[in-house]
Amino acid sequence: MLTLAAIKENPEEIIRKLAKKHFDAKDAIEKVLDLDKTRRTSQAELDTRLSELKTLSAQVGQLMKEGKKAEAETVKNKVSELKEHNKTLEANMKNAEAEITEILLSVPNTPCDMVPEGKSAEDNVVVREGGPMPDLGEDALPHWELAKKYDLIDFELGVKITGAGFPVYKGKGARLQRALISFFLDNAREAGYLEIQPPYVVNAASGYGTGQLPDKEGQMYHCNEDDLYLIPTAEVPVTNLYRDVIFNEEDLPIKNTAYSACFRREAGSYGKDVRGLNRLHQFDKVEIVQIQHPDHSYEALDEMIAHVQSLVEKLELPWHILRLCGGDMSFTSAITYDFEVFSAAQKRWLEVSSVSNFESYQANRLKCRFRTNDKKTRLVHTLNGSALALPRIVAALLENNQTPEGIRIPKALVPYTGFDIID
């Protein structure tokens, strides 16, 4: 969440920046500042009363020594009154602090200055593109038909077992999934990321730490009896490894990668845009996460973007990178770049990765800090990216590489699949 210090320093700037996300923050910011004034006033009065209480308590002891019991009783009564008043002041402070936190949890992160203006995905900006564009005939099949033809994925069986959005991978389809996971993890390790195997369920504190709660509560599967949530991405458990941690400055950066299944209740509308693997309730993804020094987080963002670009290039897929506009960004992000690959049979671009810098927004929720060499404490910056999400990568690989002989496997992936064609 936003820091109170940043809001107090320049509230008008915070309101202006949040307008780029089409969020009217004026009332919330004014309320926070009023509550902070109440808190500070109560604190100042409490400090005065505590000093007075200390003096009066000393007087009671002295009066008792002098045998002035009546006067001592009078002072004792004043002490009791002060203690009751102090309880009220402490309650006022706690209530103000709690209300400030509640409001700040509902306010999104401010976008950085590089974020373009815009209301929706149509306003996102293509910043880079590449890769060979396949030239398929008019009879090219979409991936859901290819999956059926080569017995790779059974969508109907998934519906029988669980419901829509939970496909069953079979034979070479299952092996392709496993190959991609290993390929992505190996590339991340080679890029300096430490592999983590996290839990697939998290507690509410973890959801609040990375910003899924309370903003995306309706999109997460909730285990009511235990009050646990199935993870929508490995970002949540991996970033929460560092909740309530204070690093030394020389410990930074921290770079982690993790494979996980991901679970998302919201699967969108019906139609061709969500057919097959285009949108699922459960899918596989490899995530990369960095805990960074604030001075270097944008260098790290460029590094992460280059890493994801290298993956889609090795998979020989046509790709482009979008810088998201303010209206299409997530609640927690300061800036986000989306990767899309072209699906030749569907003739549309499919999102396969988001790479984001959250600056100090998540870190403030997590209380993840570092101690500088001059012994001051600062919030870290957190970043994460998909490297990569599997479903739409698989969709593009199947469609773009279909030939009369079968589906060709990109050379970089053959050592992982153990086969170079699906026939």
Taking CB atoms within 8 Å and a gap of at least 24, the contacts of 187-194 are: 187/307, 187/310, 187/311, 187/314, 187/387, 188/257, 188/286, 188/288, 188/307, 188/387, 189/257, 191/255, 191/288, 191/307, 192/255, 193/255, 193/256, 193/257, 193/288, 194/255, 194/256, 194/257
What confidence score (pLDDT) does residue 77 get? 83
Beta strands in 14-91, from DSSP E residues, in sequence order: none
pLDDT tens-digit readout, 104-118: 999 999 999 999 999
Top CATH class of 4-105 equals: mainly alpha
Phi and psi angles of residue 369, each rounded to the nearest 5 degrees, phi first: -135, 175
What confidence score (pLDDT) does residue 268 get? 53
Is 86 annotated in a binding site? The answer is no
Mean pLDDT of 247-274: 85
Is 351 annotated in a binding site? The answer is yes
Q: What pTM was estimated for this model as a whole?
A: 0.93
Residue 421 near residue 404 (C-beta atoms within 8 A):
no
**Amino acid (one-letter) located at 67:** G
Is 384 annotated in a binding site? The answer is yes
Q: Which of 18-22, 39-43, 57-61, 360-364 has the lowest mean pLDDT?
A: 57-61
Phi and psi angles of residue 154, each rounded to the nearest 5 degrees, phi first: -115, 100
Burial of 366 (C-beta count, 10 Å sphere; 0-12/13-18/19+): buried
Is 287 annotated in a binding site? The answer is yes
pLDDT tens-digit readout, 135-159: 898 899 999 999 999 999 999 999 9
What confidence score (pLDDT) does residue 182 get? 98
Comma-separated ranges of CATH 3.30.930.10 domains in the chain: 121-422
What confidence score (pLDDT) does residue 270 get? 53
Q: Which residue has the tokens 């009154």?
A: 81
Let me know how many helices (H) and strands (E) the chain has, helices first.
Answer: 13, 19
Comma-separated ranges of CATH 1.10.287 domains in the chain: 4-105
Query: DSSP label at 47?
Result: H
Is 233 annotated in a binding site? The answer is yes
What confidence score (pLDDT) does residue 271 get? 56
Is 323 annotated in a binding site? The answer is no
Top CATH class of 121-422 equals: alpha beta
Is 353 annotated in a binding site? The answer is yes
